[in-house]
A and B are shown apart, each in its own frame.
Chain A
């Protein structure tokens, strides 16, 4: 059952990613990204990480994508014209890489070299308490440092993006 859920959601996520790249309208692309995010939440759920799955829906598919859509619509999201150009030659290897990766995976599966099955998740795995303990214990430095990274990015975006007179606090 879990394996079925995992592969279905994984396939849907890939579909969402591919469709997002292929869109000509930014709004439609963003909607496909929401689709991919929700499918990713399904993958997490299948991997016995329910809390992360819920967060994925709430934070990514919910909050962040709403913000994305808001900004795109406010800026009159660009829609590319109908003209289709040929892909420039240097780009072809980049296009070839994902199918190659899939081929490698399928080849490995067909050759019968099975990876060892992972042990079943222990009791209480993926519970919020456990994640909180990891975040504020082993990964305390990462947790705090990421907030500094985000702060620096925020200051950077504000100072570079805004003209001096338009800063809201001056």
Chain B
């Protein structure tokens, strides 16, 4: 019976502490909200910020560079997962600030927002470090359930309710696919741990068709979360209906979490299934980029436009995943990963996710700052003349748009530069060309915002009231966008270091 005894948790506590702090913090914020029911909710956002800060400190204290297997193999904390943990917490910090300012300006979000945000972050952290199908599923559901409620949580707002309900229905459907795939994979491997699956795949052909089918079903589940075409239908409606600060969180943290687990999963499966995954992912990447950009051209609401743009960016990121498992040349058709190419693609992927999160948070932060009394600043036409009325807000939004379009010296340019050069190094020149054409296409709709803000005459009914706190936070993001665009080397080298540790 020795094998069944509880593992010694004591020596894992330092690595588990970030998870425990976020989980306990969520419970604490909920209790504080229930005990002190005041009109203003500043104490809740402050407490949330403290919890997030503490989890960062705990993460820093537990150290870097090593691989920690926790809770009998359910979680494996590596630098890869630590990178994502920082990203999630960073997104949550800014979302808390933006949400706090929206609350002050008469937003009708419920106070349960803050604990749910923390639980969503907990789910993402579990997802990024999961090394067992069980923890993958539970992390994903914790995140998803919390985000469904965040999206639909605006009191008395039909569009928000519609967004939440639609997201819930479609998300449950996608989860069912994911679960079916996991069940099949369990049947194939005889275990749910990633190590079991890797061993079963390495053992020989076996029921390889079963594993491929399972992989496909799981891809549907993850593809839904990252808004990959053709599983993207929910994105515009949900991004549009949810309040801007929640949309910013969905577009950055949720997407990053989806890509974290997708990357790990593709790396786990690829040595054995590359022949089925690779062409499939190439096709999906191209379709996702193109559909996202083409539809974004025709949008009149800025949130809907950014929703389609986030689909397009999922396509670019998929390009990075494709490159990660691309076949090296001259290997007689056998799928093998060139270590150098893999590192380049992986680090480009991480850098892109970071840059993409910065610019989207900045953009949605400004949109949220301009919204008032539960009415979202959504109509592009009403941004006319914003540069004269609110110069700082207009400048931040302009920087975010230029960066999304990939124009130097913003971080968006460097992200695309690293990504496309990795694609070219892998010998996938046609894919790189499609990517560049797509990002040229995207310049049109991003610049349209700039033209409206800076060159159109201000009209009656334009947005003219911006929240100072939110705009300042977004301005800090804009500063980071510029800083990382000019000096990307340090972060990029750190990202390379992360992928050097991963055994391909």
A interface with B by C-beta (< 8 Å)? 130, 133-134, 136-142, 145-146, 148-149, 151-153, 155-156, 159-160, 164, 169-170
* Contact of A152 with B135 at beta-carbon distance under 8 Å, contacts A137-B4, A160-B153 already known: no
Contact B112 A145 (CB under 8 A): no
Give the complex CA separation of A136 and B6 in angstroms.
Answer: 6
- Residues on B with beta carbons closer than 8 Å to the beta carbon of A136: 6
How far is it, in angstroms, between the C-alpha of A155 and the C-alpha of B75 when the chains are bound? 26
Contacting A137 at CB < 8 Å: which of B72, B119, B145, B161? B72
Q: Cβ of B203 < 8 Å from any Cβ of A?
A: no
CB distance from A160 to the nearest CB of B (A): 6
Q: Can you pick out 18 interface pairs between chain A and chain B where the beta carbons lie within 8 Å of each other?
A: A134-B4, A137-B7, A139-B74, A140-B7, A140-B9, A141-B70, A141-B126, A142-B74, A148-B23, A148-B142, A151-B119, A155-B149, A156-B145, A156-B149, A159-B110, A159-B149, A164-B110, A170-B37
Q: Is the CB of B6 within 8 A of A133?
A: yes
Contact present for B75 and A141 (CB under 8 Å): yes
- The contact size tier of chain B is 35 or more
Residue of A nearest to B35 (CB): A169
**Inter-chain contacts of B70 with A (CB < 8 A):** 141
Which of B145, B148, B149, B155 is close to A149, meaning CB atoms less than 8 Å apart? B145
Chain B contacts for A146, CB-based, 8 A: 138
B4 contacts A130, C-beta separation under 8 Å = yes
Give the secondary structure class of B's interface: helix
Are B71 and A155 in contact, CB atoms less than 8 angstroms apart?
no
User: Interface code B403-419, partner A: CB below 8 Å = 1, 0 otherwise?
Assistant: 00000000000000000
CB-CB < 8 A to B37: which residues of A? Answer: 170
State in angstroms the CA–CA spacing of A141 and B72 once bound together.
9
**Cβ–Cβ < 8 Å partners of B9 in chain A:** 140
Verify A152–B155 contact, CB threshold 8 A. no
Main secondary structure of the interface of A (DSSP, over half): helix
A169 to B112, CA, bound (A): 14
Residues A145 and B135 in contact, CB atoms below 8 Å apart: yes
A133 touches B1 (CB 8 A): yes
Nearest-neighbour CB distance to chain B for A91, whole angstroms, equals 16
Q: Is the CB of B138 within 8 A of A152?
A: no
Q: Smallest CB–CB gap between A74 and chain B, Å? A: 23
Contact residues in B for A164 (Cβ distance below 8 Å): 110, 155
Other A-B contacts than A139-B134, A140-B74, 20 sampled, CB-CB below 8 A, are A130-B4, A136-B6, A138-B4, A138-B7, A139-B74, A140-B7, A145-B135, A145-B139, A145-B142, A148-B122, A149-B138, A149-B141, A152-B145, A155-B30, A155-B112, A159-B110, A159-B153, A160-B152, A164-B155, A169-B34
The minimal Cβ–Cβ distance linking B53 to chain A, given in whole angstroms, is: 21
Q: Mark interface residues in B348-366 (1 if CB within 8 Å of A CB, else 0).
A: 0000000000000000000
A-B pairs, 4 with minimum CB distance:
A156-B149, A133-B4, A141-B74, A137-B6
Complexed CA–CA distance, A140 and B155 (Å):
37
* Contact partners of A133 in chain B: CB under 8 A: 1, 4-6
A130 to B1, CA, bound (A): 8
The answer to whether the Cβ of B495 comes within 8 Å of any Cβ in the partner chain is: no
A contact residues around B284 at 8 Å (CB): none
Which of B5, B145, B148 has its CB near the most chain A CB atoms (within 10 A)? B145
Complex CA distance for A137 and B164, rounded to whole angstroms = 36
